[in-house]
Copies of this chain bind each other. A is one copy, B any other.
Amino acid sequence: MSQEKSTIPGNHQQVPLKVLAIGSAYEDTILYVDKFPPEDGKQRAQRVEKRRGGNAGNTLTVLSQFPLTQGYFMASMASKDASAFLLHDFETHNIKTSTCIFRSNAELAPVAYIIYADNTSSRTIINYNSIDELTFEEFKRKFEAACVEEVDTLNNDLPFNWIHFEGRNVVEVAKMIDYIGTKVWRPRTKISVELEKPYRRGLETLMSRADVVFFSKVFAEGKGYNHAGDFLQIMSPHCKNTALLFCTWGSSGAMCYNNQTRKLSTEPALPIPSVVDTVGAGDTFTAGVIYGLTQGMTTEGCLKFACELAGRKCAQVGFDCVVEKMSKLF
């Protein structure tokens, strides 16, 4: 167990923060069963749980726990009726959804059914998403409306301190980032991209446009690498020469490569009493980095802070109060 003092800054001056995250939101239904059912069999679940899923939304859920921090979620969603569960959950977590597009003809929200088998700890996933992705024009309309609404509310003329994208819908997202690049306030915001799925095409297009790039272990392994450091150095030429590249590596912690200084930093995972729930650990790490960088932490400080935040998330079910626990020892 870690007996070190937490890395959360104690009485520092909090910088108000507005984060826009663009991605996809899922209704996750988790079916807890004793054992995975045989094909054609009938099985009773011990418990069924419904959660909001989706990486960008998870990151906002954690970010929203920090003081003076407002999250905005943007996605192409099903009809408002079909999105009721998701919207209610965003609202509960104080995340604004006025930036979402609702497709009135889509009667089913994106769903994932996750079968957790107790005897083998396996997770079998069946997912479904029939919602058309967000187009650049839709983004532009919602983004402009949000800018008008948000300018001057917290940070003078800066609508968002940070804009984070899930690495999907590549062609349209590239246009979105280029559009943000035309804004006079662009140099004062940060743009990040999170790359999780290695099989998606054209992701280099997004890497080259982001100030901060988040890679998953699955992504690195899918590209044929089994070490985060090697992988980040290979990826670095595809990124901006001022970019920061992060890669999480499960129980081995995470690494960061600074493309400007060419420095590679490593941070081990936080030793925790027992791993309870790793769903969204990477998204929590992302929240930690976004928070740390906007608060003026060093790259190494950020990496350490984000690793601790992700570790504390793994020690609990869900995301509730994980930020609050950063000020406590295990």
| A10-39 contacts to B (CB < 8 Å) | 29, 31, 33, 36-39
User: Whole-angstrom distance between the alpha carbons of A128 and B30 in the complex?
Assistant: 11
A102 to B143, CA, bound (A): 43
Distance between Cα atoms of A38 and B41 in the complex (Å):
14
With A31-B113, A113-B31 already in contact, the answer to whether A41 and B124 are too (CB < 8 A) is: yes
Contact A124 B31 (CB under 8 A): no
Known A39-B36, A113-B113, A117-B39; judge A48-B124 contact (CB<8 A).
Answer: no
> A120 and B39: CB pair below 8 A?
yes
Nearest Cβ on chain B to A202's Cβ, whole angstroms? 20
Among A39, A42, A47, chain B packs the most CB atoms within 10 A around the CB of: A39
- Determine the chain B residues whose CB is within 8 A of the CB of A4 once the complex forms: none
Copy number in this complex? 2
A44 sits at the interface (CB 8 A)? yes
A226 contacts the other chain (Cβ, under 8 Å)? Answer: no
Interface size on A, residues (CB 8 A): 29
- Distance from A127 Cβ to chain B, minimum over Cβ atoms (Å): 6
Query: What is the bound-complex CA distance between A42 and B127, given in angstroms?
Result: 8
Structural contact, A108 and B40, CB atoms closer than 8 A: no
In the bound complex, CA of A128 to CA of B38 (Å): 17
Decide if A80 is an interface residue (CB 8 Å cutoff).
no
- The secondary-structure label for the interface of chain A is strand
Q: Within 8 Å CB of A41, what residues of B?
A: 124-125
From B108, B117, B126, B127, A115 is in contact (CB under 8 Å) with B126
Q: Which of B29, B40, B108, B117 contacts A124 (CB 8 A)?
A: B40
A37 to B108, CA, bound (A): 22
Interface residues of A in 196-241 (CB under 8 A from B): none
Is A111 positioned at the interface, with any CB of B under 8 Å from its CB? yes
Task: Compute how far the CA of A100 lies from the CA of B171 in the bound complex, rounded to whole angstroms.
Answer: 51
Query: Contact check: which of B33, B44, B126 meets A37 at CB < 8 Å?
Result: B126
Closest CB of chain B to A51's CB: distance in Å?
12
A123 to B, closest residue via Cβ: B40
A122 in the interface, Cβ–Cβ < 8 Å? yes
5 closest pairs, A vs B, by CB?
Answer: A40-B122, A45-B128, A36-B39, A42-B125, A48-B128
- A-B contacts besides A37-B126, A40-B122, A43-B125, 12 pairs, CB < 8 Å: A29-B29, A36-B39, A38-B124, A39-B120, A39-B124, A40-B123, A42-B127, A43-B127, A45-B126, A45-B127, A48-B108, A48-B111
User: What residues make up the interface of A, taking CB atoms closer than 8 Å to B?
Assistant: 29, 31, 33, 36-45, 47-48, 50, 108, 111, 113, 115, 117, 120, 122-128
